[in-house]
Structure 1
Amino acid sequence: MGMIVDLLSLMFGNGRNGLRETVEVFRENSEAGAQRGAQMRTEALTQLGAEFARPSPGLFDRVMDAVNRLPRPALALGTLGLFVAAMVDPLWFAARMQGLTLVPEPLWWLLGVIVSFYFGARYQVKHQSFQREIATTLTRIPQVMDNLAALGRMRGEAPGAADTRGDAQLALSSTRSEPNPALAEWRAKRG
């Protein structure tokens, strides 16, 4: 008997599972791997959320954001205004367009660069804001998944939903048969 105990303790270890530890050398423990993966994703999302966190903007920031929003609507409305001016007073419009033909080409290039930089920078700011919003949304995923799991457990289709949990009265009432008028009528017709 002592030899069998020694052989089993050699195989399974003293208080440890030597067979499991040996297998884990060749194959990852799936449960431990899933826990490490979940922890890594949670930490990565927390770090991403911290990178994009910023305090609420002050008065100056809100004013500057408002000023930054003016050029695009001004350009769009100005262009529409030019179309209206061309229809209302074609001679006035033609005189203004003749003035534009006198603008030297390097000035047109400079205007193009300024507009490109403005809209490019604005795009960059909006893109970073969008990334911040995505990071904030992603940090809510574990809470949403927990809420969905809780809602799933509340459904009647979940396994064990009809379990009486040892309540004798509930078990008896669930097995008591109710009269079925359709079945009674069917039996009457047959017999």
Structure 2
Amino acid sequence: MGMIQALTGLLFGSGRNVVTETAEVFRVNAEKEAMRGATAQAAALSQFGAEFRVTERSVFDRVMDALNRIPRPAMALGTLALFVSAMVDPVWFAARMAGIALVPEPLWWLLAAIVSFYFGARHQSKGQDFQREVAATMAAVPGVVQTVRDVEALRDVTPGPVVETESFAEAGGNPALMDWRRGQA
């Protein structure tokens, strides 16, 4: 009995646990790791809380915060407004989009740089693709101008009454229509 007691005292005695200490060399103690994680998280939360704690803020600070919140909602709502305007007045929308197609390349680069720096995008990696797209858009300008002219010409055109003729059916253009007309006769 004395030998077992001495061995147990050697391993677990004097407030130490040699087995646990040896195992912790190879595997992290889950309970202590959770306690360290909780302590770190509590420290981070208190730091964030102190950072965002509202003290007396000046009018300038409040105005700047308000201005910083405008661009993203304005861009989203502006895009939705473009869709609505395309449905409400397609001719007006086509004329405006043709005007956008005529914007010179340096202005597109400037706009892209401003937007990319504002939102932290990686503009430089997309630069060459963007330049090719702008060049293709600029090459399409004559076609867009002609389309706008055609669309503008539609403003004064009012559709007349539909007149049915037998020439299409006689030419064998639509077999379903010919069968229907035979059934009507």
Give me the TM-score of the superposition, normalised by structure 2: 0.42
State TM-score, norm by structure 1. 0.41
Of structures 1 and 2, the one with the larger relative CO (CA 8 A, separation 6+) is 1
